[in-house]
Amino acid sequence: MTPIVALPPYARLRDYETAIRLAGGEPRRLEIGRDDPDDVMRTVDAILLPGGGDVEPSYYGEQRHATFEGAEAGRDELELALAQRSREADMPLLAICRGIQLLNVARGGSLIQDIPDQMPDALSHQRREPPDVIAHDVRVERSRLAELLRIDGEMTVPVNSRHHQAIKRLGDGLVVTAAASDGVIEAVEDPSQRFCLAVQWHPENFHRTGEFAGLFKAFVDAARK
Ligand code: MN
């Protein structure tokens, strides 16, 4: 049986879909208004929360920063519901870029709304190069992520970076598993769940070269069980 992975609506899903297929899964695009969260939970095996616009800050008790650019109408609500329900059902969840931020907010955490403004000494995280160009390193802690990336002694991994927001206050049940040298959180996971892993970079952009294939493989394998 091929596990079905649900993807909320986003204009640039192609690399995510390719990475899922290469890992043995079948992506299914969701539609706002058509796909009710409870129906989704009954008909898919895993949830992937992809990149996109900013999460509405009222969901974590803040006003919009001047740089706020929201996601598709209704997407915050659909994704928050899916993050909640996947936790309750222990359904595998992989969250990428906006996804790590959405997951953190769904767990009661908050976000740095604009890194250049709120962390002026930070590295440049919102890079404009082609998507698979390396932007900075992340230091990975002993974790599921480290196991999946097959990191032994050397715990530093080069990644791409296209975000202006990041996790501020950590959400319930999450642990930090990677950070950049400036302290920006780059990965979290929930060790109490079967598979709940989130990264701030874009592993899907490396599907040609396979650096992060192990991540997608483990995600789809978890969805098969
Ligand atoms: Mn980054």
Kindly report, residue by residue over 72-91, the tens digit of the pLDDT. 999 999 999 999 999 999 99
Rounded to the nearest integer, the mean pLDDT of the chain is 96
Indicate which residue of 17, 79, 97, 207 is catalytic. Answer: 97
Tell me the pLDDT tens digit for each residue of 19-55.
Answer: 999 999 999 999 999 999 999 999 999 999 999 999 9
What spacing in Å lies between the alpha carbon of 218 and ligand 1's midpoint?
A: 23
What spacing in Å lies between the alpha carbon of 104 and ligand 1's midpoint?
A: 16
Both tokens of 143, joined, read 């974790």
* Residue 57 pLDDT greater than 90, yes or no: yes
What spacing in Å lies between the alpha carbon of 43 and ligand 1's midpoint?
A: 33
202 is known as an active-site residue: yes
pLDDT of 29:
97
**How crowded is residue 13: how many other Cβ atoms within 10 Å of its Cβ?**
19
- In this structure, are residues 93 and 195 in contact, taking their beta carbons and an 8 Å threshold? yes
Please tell me the total number of residues recorded for the chain in this structure.
225
What spacing in Å lies between the alpha carbon of 165 and ligand 1's midpoint?
A: 9
* Residue 200 pLDDT greater than 90, yes or no: yes
* Residue 179 pLDDT greater than 80, yes or no: yes
Residue type (1 letter), 126:
Q
pLDDT of 1:
87
pLDDT of 69:
98
* Residue 223 pLDDT greater than 90, yes or no: yes
Percent of the chain clearing pLDDT 90 (strictly above): 96
Whole-angstrom Cα distance, residue 30 to residue 128?
A: 28
Tell me the pLDDT tens digit for each residue of 130-145.
Answer: 999 999 999 999 999 9
Whole-angstrom Cα distance, residue 7 to residue 215?
A: 17
What spacing in Å lies between the alpha carbon of 125 and ligand 1's midpoint?
A: 4
Q: Identify the sign of the CA torsion 149, 153, 155, 160.
A: negative
Whole-angstrom Cα distance, residue 202 to residue 200?
A: 7
Indicate which residue of 17, 79, 204, 207 is catalytic. Answer: 204
* Residue 58 pLDDT greater than 80, yes or no: yes
Look at the pTM and tell me if it is higher than 0.85. Answer: yes
pLDDT of 81:
98
* Closest-CA residue to 95 (of 196, 205, 5, 13): 196
Mean pLDDT of 64-68: 98
Give Cβ neighbours of residue 73 (< 8 Å, ≥ 6 apart).
32
* DSSP assigned state of 203: G
Give Cβ neighbours of residue 170 (< 8 Å, ≥ 6 apart).
104, 109, 176, 185, 188
What spacing in Å lies between the alpha carbon of 107 and ligand 1's midpoint?
A: 21
Whole-angstrom Cα distance, residue 31 to residue 48?
A: 14
- In the three-class reduction of DSSP (H, G, I as helix; E, B as strand; rest coil), residue 179 is classed as strand
What spacing in Å lies between the alpha carbon of 41 and ligand 1's midpoint?
A: 31
* Residue 186 pLDDT greater than 70, yes or no: yes
204 is known as an active-site residue: yes
pLDDT of 139:
96
* Residue 153 pLDDT greater than 90, yes or no: no
Indicate which residue of 125, 163, 202, 207 is catalytic. Answer: 202
Confidence of residue 150 (pLDDT cuts 50, 70, 90): confident
* Closest-CA residue to 10 (of 82, 92, 70): 70
pLDDT of 35:
96
196 is known as an active-site residue: no
Q: Identify the sign of the CA torsion 195, 132, 213, 51.
A: positive
